[in-house]
Structure 1
Amino acid sequence: MARRVSATDGGRRVLLQWADGTTSAFPAVWLRDNCHCAQCFTSGAIHVRTLLMEHLDVDCTVQEVKLEQEGAEVAMRWSDGHAGTFSPGWLRQRAFEPAQRAARGVVCRPTLQPWDAALAADLPRLPFVRVMQEDAALLEALLHLERYGLVLLEEAPAQPGHVRRLCERIAFMRTTHFGEEFTVRVKVDPTSIAYTARNIEIHTDACYYDYMPGLQILHFIVQYEGKGGETQLADGAQICRDLRQQDPDAFQLLTTVKVDFKNVTMGENGKHHFKLLQAPVITLDSEGELQCLRFTTSQRDSYFSAPIEQIEPWYKAMKKLLNMFYDDKYIIKRKMKEGDMIVFDNVRLVHGREPLLEGGCVGERHLEGGYLDWDEVRSRRRVLQERLQGNPSGYGF
């Protein structure tokens, strides 16, 4: 509830005092841009602004403002002659103070929880059946994914088809030239190193895509019973932070030198593909934190579009990052069970597999995999939060 309201700074700001004695300031132009009357916004399910930017006077001021209905409504008139009203609660939720801005940031993306090898003792996990049947369990799984970058779903039926079921429970599958679902099984004539018995060096998938698949799902249908085959995982967010502190020059090289990532092959659909992207290994967001990690040996091209004086230092930086991924301080190694389904952030975590060390292993390890895009996963998480937590954003789910 608002206690009093006034226009300040020649009408360029509206100052609201709340019942608890605190105050919030709102720019007149932002208020005009967000007037929700029938002239300025559509109503119903498609709730969008109809006041176009070309018609918005960015120098507008508030000419008159007052509280109505005993403080339950803020009414104002702008210098363009338009009048509108706002709910004080709606305004307070959108106030420009740090607390409100931080709360909105968490709606966008929950705070990351970087981790090291100690997470192995308390791996985020849920029963697969609960995630498939209970919205609260699905929300818990999605929050684990956003915070930790992984979640282990246990006791899924050891049959093909359940990767698709999970993807469609969340959103829809991301298609690549491998198709939607893909099968990881040791093959005689493989189209990917994943289909061999060799060590799979730690990596992120599909680095040659400008918009890499955001999440990867691997469902262990048949696990290799011999020695070897452990899944390896490490958190790029934690390791990149530590690399920046320990070796700023190496970090600088890996965030600036562009690498040629490519995939030239015949896909599972029989069509040839020539995927090519020039990008650094580490891409940072506007806050200087990890946004996307492209770490691969098999998908790096022999073309290297960088000045020659950067090449040797880049290789040393790359090797240092690789050694950190494999350091016992950071890496998790786990022999997955049949029915395990590991879901992880493909642009944050690196993953690999120890070699299958005994002979005659063709057909003895069978995984089904698939991808999801982060935009769809985060959208699903927000909808679940709105429904299960009382519509905190006020969008009416």
Structure 2
Amino acid sequence: MTRSDQEGHLPEVDYGEVMDYGEVLWRWLWNLNEYGMCLVNNVPTLPGSVIKVCKRIGRIQETLYGKVFELLVKDNPATIANTGEGLPLHMDLLYYKSPPGLSLLHCLRYDDSVIGGESLLLDCYPILEDLKNNYPEQFHTLTRVPATFQSIHHTGVPPTHFIRRVPHVVLGHHEEIVAVNWCPIAEGALQVSPVDVEPYYQAYLLLAKLFNTSERLLKFRLLPGQLISFNNRRILHGRNSFHSKERGGVRHFEGLFINVDESNSQFHLLNNKFGSEPPKYVFNHSVF
């Protein structure tokens, strides 16, 4: 099954139309289904606006970070996300047995004095298709050998002890890719048979290179009032490091997660009304 390519740009919808018109809401969900990502413009730059957007398609999936989390430089940060450090391409919360399906990030403030901090998005599906076709042995290794994802911080706030072992690539009944697991910053020690160690790392390093050198990478500065939504089981995201050239410069996002099954339900309902074609699979360990 092939997917359309977004041709180097983000599909977009308008906040007011998403909130008022069912057909535009369907278009937003269609973009998420087709491309795995969609930008929502003209969202009010008020705290909690991301919640209003979320309620159009599903309920918040609460995690150890609560219902809504902030991406903002803080003193004594509990996570690297609340620093100015760059974040490599990754997926969120892969140490959960049911990682979030959709992620919403809303830009409340991004001062002109802030240098860097560009958002990064990469659709990993076509890259994995290339890996499958051109490096079948390495692809098979990544579908077979389990990686370890973990968050173990007994003195953290909150304290955590999450461990999950799962291959980087998950296949469905027809050997199609139905989910991806990629988060280098949350990987623990590999716990596999010795015979699998070398093949695993050879395949892992190859895939990492394909991700990090891909010409499909989208890099952009999310502006105040813009909200990026993406499929956390298909799209890798990250950011460049940033700093302020003037004292007090702020980069402030609010984010939340949505269970992909609820958003799929809303999409099916709207697609029956406004769509002309059946939906494609959306990387939630299942096919339509």
TM-score, normalization: structure 1? 0.65
Q: In 2, distance between residues paired with 1:389 and 1:245?
A: 32
1:191 partner amino acid: A
Aligned to 1:383: 269
Q: In 2, distance between residues paired with 1:350 and 1:241?
A: 15
**Secondary structure of 2:185's partner?**
coil
Q: In 2, distance between residues paired with 1:179 and 1:377?
A: 20
Q: CA offsets per residue over residues 148-187 of structure 1, 9 Å max, x none?
A: 1011001111121111111112121111111111111112
Q: In 1, distance between residues paired with 2:200 and 2:246?
A: 39
Query: Does the C-alpha gap of structure 1 residues 357 and 133 become closer, same or farther in structure 2, counting only changes over 3 Å?
Result: same
Q: In 2, distance between residues paired with 1:126 and 1:144?
A: 9
2:1 matches 1:115: no
- Residue 388 of structure 1 and its aligned partner are, at CA, apart by 4.7
Query: Does the C-alpha gap of structure 1 residues 273 and 186 become closer, same or farther in structure 2, counting only changes over 3 Å?
Result: same
Query: Does the C-alpha gap of structure 1 residues 359 and 265 become closer, same or farther in structure 2, counting only changes over 3 Å?
Result: farther
2:101 matches 1:233: no
Aligned partners of 2:44 and 2:225 also within 8 Å: yes
Q: In 1, distance between residues paired with 2:262 and 2:2?
A: 18
Q: In 2, distance between residues paired with 1:256 and 1:202?
A: 22
Query: Does the C-alpha gap of structure 1 residues 389 and 337 become closer, same or farther in structure 2, counting only changes over 3 Å?
Result: closer
Q: In 2, distance between residues paired with 1:173 and 1:277?
A: 22
1:222 partner amino acid: R
2:56 matches 1:166: no
**Structure 1 unmatched runs, 5+:** 1-110, 393-397
Aligned to 2:201: 315
Q: In 1, distance between residues paired with 2:247 and 2:50?
A: 24
Aligned to 1:107: none
- Residue 115 of structure 1 and its aligned partner are, at CA, apart by 3.0
TM-score, normalization: structure 2? 0.88
**Secondary structure of 1:170's partner?**
coil
Q: CA offsets per residue over residues 289-310 of structure 1, 9 Å max, x none?
A: 22111111121112x2112232
- Residue 319 of structure 1 and its aligned partner are, at CA, apart by 2.0
Aligned to 1:188: 75
Aligned to 2:221: 335
By relative contact order (CA 8 Å, sep 6+), the higher-ranking structure is 2
Aligned to 1:69: none
Q: In 2, distance between residues paired with 1:135 and 1:267?
A: 46
1:262 partner amino acid: Q
- Residue 285 of structure 1 and its aligned partner are, at CA, apart by 1.6
Q: CA offsets per residue over residues 21-55 of structure 1, 9 Å max, x none?
A: xxxxxxxxxxxxxxxxxxxxxxxxxxxxxxxxxxx
Q: CA offsets per residue over residues 95-125 of structure 1, 9 Å max, x none?
A: xxxxxxxxxxxxxxxx762537x332xx210
Aligned to 2:281: none
- Residue 383 of structure 1 and its aligned partner are, at CA, apart by 1.7
Q: In 1, distance between residues paired with 2:92 and 2:155?
A: 15
- Residue 326 of structure 1 and its aligned partner are, at CA, apart by 2.4
Superposed CA RMSD: 2.3
**Structure 2 unmatched runs, 5+:** 279-288
The count of aligned residue pairs is 276
1:177 to 49, 64, 68: 64
Q: In 2, distance between residues paired with 1:340 and 1:267?
A: 35
1:188 partner amino acid: D
Query: Does the C-alpha gap of structure 1 residues 361 and 290 become closer, same or farther in structure 2, counting only changes over 3 Å?
Result: farther
**Larger CA Rg, structure 1 vs 2:** 1
Aligned to 2:151: 263
Q: In 2, distance between residues paired with 1:363 and 1:195?
A: 14
